[in-house]
Amino acid sequence: MDFSIVVSDFASLTLDGIVVGAIYALVALGYTLVYGVLRLINFAHSEIFMMGTMTAVFVTSILGFTGYEDPLPLWRFFLVFALIVIASSVVSGGAAVILEIVAYRRLRNMGASRLSSLISAIGASFFLTEIFRLLTDSRNLDFPRMISKEPLFQFSSAYVTQDKLLVLAGAAILFYGLNRIINHTRLGLGIRAVSQDERTSVLMGVNVNRVISFTFLIGGVLAGAGSAFYMVFYEVTKSNVGFLIGISAFTAAVLGGIGNIRGALIGSFALGLFQQYTAAVLGYNWRDVVTFVVLVLVLLVKPTGLFGEALQKARV
Amino acid sequence: MPDLSRFNLRDRFGDWWDKASPIQRGFTRVFVISLFYALPLINNPVIDTPETSFQSVLFYPLAMFSLMAVGLNVVVGKSGILDLGYVAFFAIGAYTYAMFALKTSLIFWEILPLAMGFAMLAGVILGLPALRLRGDYLAIITLGFGEIVRIVAINTEAIGGAAGLTSIPGPPAFLGYEFTVMDPRPYYWLTLTLLALVIWGVLRLSHRKPGRAWEAIREDEDVAEFMGVSTLKYKLWAFIIGGAVGGAAGAVYASQIRSIQPEMFTLNLSIMILACVVFGGMGNIWGVILGAVLLGYLPEKLRFLSETRIIFFGLLMVVMMNIRPNGLLPRKKREVVGEKK
Amino acid sequence: MSQQVSGKKILEVKDLVVKFGGVTALDSVNLHVSEGEIAALIGPNGAGKTTVFNIVTGYYTPASGSVTVEGNAMIGLRPYKIARSGLARTFQNIRLFGDMTALENVATAADALNKSGLVGSLFGVPRSRRDEKRSMEKAHELLTFIGLDHRAGQLSRNLPYGDQRRLEIARALALEPKVLLLDEPAAGFNPQEKVELGELIKRIRDRGHAVLLIEHDMSLVMKISDRVSVLDFGKKIAEGTPSEIQNNQRVIDAYLGVAEDAS
């Protein structure tokens, strides 16, 4: 195992780690927000992300891209990209809201056990993955290159390209937007209230169903937007892309402390960086094992994560 | 529209069983068991499956799924521990058999306990740390474990890597029956026998202290602990038993199919077995077997289902949880209402 | 009533400090229960009474302090070990094993005192068989003692409310506790049922179990308790015989909610 790679390529690995971390964060926020209000791991959130990637590919095909064109002029790219982001966000957000109503709401009203909700979530996840696997014939779907990936400049070992800057800038905008929603709107207040104490929130007049739908919507929109950034960066998707991204994003959320928004952000960047460094040393094919190991270690050693709440302990 | 959530098959049978005499019960047992052993001899177009022979389907998926479902049921159904990585035990059993069969001169019957042992050990290694966690987190860790086993198998050349292991020998002839690649019937009977043994064991445990402990854990783990039940010990045992059964199934499977690759042991399989347990009746041993038989047989029989098998299973899980969370044959006991003295 | 109290302390809680986040739930609480005693723990809502039960039975670990049963330290032990050491409890919100029958509920607790293991049960070794018989007999006997033998085969979730409360007591008794911890056992009872409950608790004491009782019904507490401790905002503010407590001004103030610095 050659550790010197980490040193020699430090800047490059770090840049990539931050970019990947940003994408993870956009997905991790969905897990953490839903967990905050429902104390449920939305297993199917990964498929919400996947559907966003599919939407992105779909939009490019509707617009007539074949994948063989030259990169677009920047202003045109932004126009097209904005369209894609909006489309993916709408699809993912809408799918998330529908998912909640179909798979979880009735169980919530029935007071079903956590086991039942989790099984329903898993069923939904598999259902969606397989539907899209059949729709795409198990193929990889390519995303046309619409933006030049020529390095703008080089910083130590890191090649700074436009797509990476795009991801970072876009994510920053979305984080800021989320912050405003959570902290400066009524629905955001509702989310914070329900996360803390659902029963009291109801007594205080909060419409819990609406808050929950809204939470799913936000999570879905973020994942959808994230999927658009993902496609620009990675340029390929598959029906099971949700699974691996989901595991990483979920691990990031747990690492930061599930239920804690700031934790999800920090955990995502931390995991993104860690993945890059270990992949450089061990090889990419061990990356997912490493991620799982991180998840297991966090849950065993410090289940509250870096910033999180205590693991659910029912009051006796 | 009848009230789907309350229709109760098991009680109807249960009432009859209670009133039956020991002779009637004995006869029923012998009859039912003989029926199952005789299944491969039936040659009826109505039950025949289009793609593969009925005998082959009897072995896999029917008998195999049933065995694994009974194993998983002890973990999920009886004890309430959501295990999403059951395929790991299956894989460990299969690989243990394959490696020992290929590299040593041990025969199937000698390796079988080893395969079970390795799987049980895996259950302990996974369980000791993981079982201290709460439901959702435990589920994720078990899922991770299943995936890790698969990825390690792909990346470890010593056990075949991505190409897997081939030319695995089968069991030696037994009672005049040769275990050949062509004929799935002896494997079916072998699995059926294992299934019978496991059912016997699980039923015995269920009606005694372990069964009560598991049920209490599933009902209210905290209170079970307050009532003196060592929840960690019993949850670990559930894992160990589940592992043993999964490992045994894996060994038999490898000995039949003669070549294994990591891609055979995916999360999908864990989910399929879980679907059998959920659909059939969590905690009810007959229910999960029924679930395994239905979910194994129907996709083989109906072409359109076999393509969309996972979609069907996923949808089924969502629907079942919403409409009839206890499954087809519910776990709930039948009550005996006495007279107040 | 008082003659049976021997003075030998079975359960001792010393200087117990419990914090949840920034809140001090219990502040240096001292309690004890003596052999043959029916002790009561009262106080306004939120005073920390159930928290005492949760700490003593091992659900939470205190910030500091000690809990001993007959001199044996309980802090740091897992709840099941504490249960087997002689502390059994009931719950404010009934927490039976709903899908198990009444008999099974009690038998599960009775099992805890048997040493037989899983492998033994599987192969039907003699010790397992004896233990099984013993558990069943004990369960039946306790159900009879509590007056629920006719409900033995019924699912506990289907029992009427009063029977459920009593079943919880029977289940706790199966652990042969040295101290039985009852958390608001009379909640939801009508006056007649409360009288019967009082008699039952006395019979339990006569069987050899000391009792520590959290209750809001003052007449019940005063009638059957040998000694009463009062908690308010996590502190013990008074302790004594029922009549002493009834006339204690601090206790009266605590219940009426008179603010310390009312002007």
**Would the CB atoms of B209 and C155 count as touching at under 8 Å?**
no
Summarised one tens digit per residue, pLDDT across range A232-262 is: 999 999 998 998 899 899 999 999 988 888 8
The DSSP symbol for B77 reads I
Instruction: Give residue B4's pLDDT.
Output: 55
Across C205-220, average pLDDT = 92
Question: DSSP assignment, residue A69?
Answer: S
Sign of CA dihedral B71, B76, B81, B87: positive
- Find chains touching chain A: ≥3 CB pairs under 8 Å: B, C
Of B209, B224, B225, the CB nearest to C132: B209
Mutation for testing the C interface, residue in B220, B222, B227, B233 having most C CBs under 10 Å: B227
What mean pLDDT comes out for the span A263-289?
Answer: 90
The tokens describing A264, both together, are 């999800």
Q: Does the distance separating the beta carbons of B147 and A122 come in below 8 Å?
A: no
User: What's the token pair of residue B45?
Assistant: 């177009």
Number of Cβ within 10 Å of residue A75's Cβ equals: 8
Which residues in chain A are contacts of C54 at CB distance < 8 A?
A: 316
* Over residues C230-237, mean pLDDT: 91
Query: Other CB atoms closer than 10 Å to residue A70's CB: what's the count?
Result: 8
CA distance C258 to A149: 73
Q: Which of A1-15, A95-109, A292-306, B5-19 has the lowest mean pLDDT?
A: B5-19
* Residue type (1 letter), B127: G
- Please tell me the predicted confidence (pLDDT) of residue A306: 84
Average pLDDT estimate for A79-102: 94
B281-320 pLDDT, tens per residue?
A: 888 899 999 999 998 888 877 777 767 888 888 888 899 8
How does residue C1 score in pLDDT terms, banded at 50, 70 and 90? very low
CA distance B183 to chain A (A): 33
- Where does the pLDDT of residue B74 fall: very low under 50, low under 70, confident under 90, or very high at 90 and above? very high
Interface size, chain A vs chain B, as Cβ–Cβ contacts under 8 Å: 116
What would the 3-class secondary structure string for chain C be? Answer: CHHHCCCCEEEEEEEEEEEECCEEEEEEEEEEEECCCEEEEECCCCCCHHHHHHHHCCCCCCCEEEEEECCEECCCCCHHHHHHCCEEECCCCCCCCCCCEHHHHHHHHHHCCCCCCHHHHHHCCHHHHHHHHHHHHHHHHHHHHHCCHHHCCCEHHHCCHHHHHHHHHHHHHCCCCCEEEEECCCCCCCHHHHHHHHHHHHHHHHCCCEEEEECCCHHHHHHHCCEEEEEECCEEEEEECHHHHHCCHHHHHHHHCCCCCCC
DSSP letter for each residue of B180-248:
-SS--HHHHHHHHHHHHHHHHHHHHHHTSHHHHHHHHHHH-HHHHHHTT--HHHHHHHHHHHHHHHHHH
B&C contacts, CB < 8 Å: 116
What pLDDT does B330 receive?
75
Stretch A273-293: mean pLDDT? 87
Q: What is the mean pLDDT of chain B?
A: 86
Q: Burial level of A234, CB count in 10 A (0-12/13-18/19+)?
A: middle
Question: Which structure tokens are listed for C163?
Answer: 């029977």
pLDDT given at position C230? 92
Q: Are residues B135 and A131, on separate chains, in Cβ contact within 8 Å?
A: no
Looking at the DSSP bridge assignments, the partners of residue B174 are: B177
- Return the pLDDT at A66: 78
Tens of pLDDT, residues A20-41: 999 999 999 999 999 888 888 8
From B225's Cα to the closest Cα of chain C, the distance in A is 5
Whether pLDDT at A313 is above 50: no
State the best of B136, B270, B304 to mutate against chain A, taking most chain A CBs within 10 Å.
B136
CB of B148 within 8 Å of a chain A CB? The answer is yes
* CB < 8 Å from A in window 182-211 of B: none
Tens of pLDDT, residues A176-207? 999 999 999 988 988 988 888 888 888 888 88
Please give the pLDDT value at position C208: 92
Rounded CA separation B29/A12 (Å)? 69
**Contact between C231 and C49 (Cβ < 8 Å):** yes
| Stretch 141-170 of chain B: residues touching chain C, C-beta under 8 Å | none
What residues of chain A lie within 8 A of the CB of B275, using their CB? Answer: 123
Cis before B61 (ω within 30): yes
Note whether A120 contacts B274, CB cutoff 8 Å.
no
Inter-chain CB proximity B205 and C118 less than 8 Å: yes
Which residues in chain C are closer than 8 Å to A316, comparing Cβ atoms? 50, 53-54, 59, 91
Contact list in B for residue C84 (CB cut-off 8 A) is 228
Looking at the predicted structure, is the pLDDT value of residue C160 above 90?
Answer: yes
Band of the pLDDT at A56, cuts 50, 70, 90?
very high
Instruction: Tell me the per-residue pLDDT of B161-197, one tens digit each, with 9 for 90 and over.
Output: 888 888 888 888 777 778 887 888 888 989 999 999 9
Task: Name residue, tokens 């029924």.
Answer: B290
User: For testing the chain B interface, which of C105, C111, C171 should be mutated: the one with the most B CBs within 10 Å?
Assistant: C111
Residue B244 has pLDDT above 70, yes or no: yes
Band of the pLDDT at C2, cuts 50, 70, 90? Answer: very low
Nearest-CA distance A177 → chain C (Å): 31
**Residue percentage of chain B with pLDDT more than 70:** 92
Query: Which residues of chain C lie closer than 8 angstroms to B231, CB-CB?
Result: 80
Collapsing DSSP states into helix, strand and coil, what is residue A43? coil
State residue C46's pLDDT score: 81
**What's the whole-number mean pLDDT along residues A281-285?**
83
Percent of chain C with pLDDT over 90: 71
What is the DSSP secondary-structure string of B6-26?
T--HHHHHHHHHHHS-HHHHH
- Chosen from B126, B271, B322 to mutate, greatest number of chain A CBs within 10 A: B322
Name the residue among C59, C109, C153 with its Cβ closest to that of B337: C153
CB count, 10 Å around CB of A94?
17
3-state secondary structure of B174: strand
Measured between CB atoms, does B290 come within 8 Å of chain A? Answer: no
d(CA B75, CA B138) in angstroms, rounded, equals 12
Please, what is the angle between helix B285-301 and helix B309-323, to 10°? 140
* Chain A residues inside the 8 Å CB shell of C91: 316
Q: Which residue of B has its CA nearest to A108?
A: B322
Beta pairing class for C210-214 and C179-183: parallel
**Chain A residues touching B87 at Cβ < 8 A:** none
Cβ neighbours for A87, distance < 8 A, ≥ 6 positions apart: A55, A56, A58, A59
Answer whether B12 touches C (CB < 8 Å): no
pLDDT of residue A311: 43
Residue B68 has what pLDDT? 96
Closest-approach residue (CA) in chain C for A310: C21
HSE (side-chain half, CA atoms, 13 Å) at A30: 38
Give the chain B residue nearest C102 (alpha carbons).
Answer: B335
Residue C210's beta-bridge partner residues? Answer: C179
The tokens 């808050």 sit on which residue?
A211
CA pair distance C58, C56, nearest whole angstrom: 5
Q: What does the pLDDT look like over C90-116, one tens digit per residue?
A: 999 999 999 899 999 999 999 999 888
Alpha carbon of residue B208 to chain centroid: 21
Say if the ipTM goes beyond 0.85.
yes
Q: What is the pLDDT of residue B333?
A: 62
Could you identify the residue written with the tokens 């993916």?
Answer: A88
**pTM across the whole model:** 0.86
* Residue B237 touches chain C, beta carbons under 8 Å: yes
Residue A266's pLDDT is what? 93
Neighbouring C-alpha atoms within 13 Å toward the C-beta of C148: 30
Give Dmax (Cα) for chain C.
74
Dihedral Cα C147, C153, C154, C159, nearest 10 deg: 10
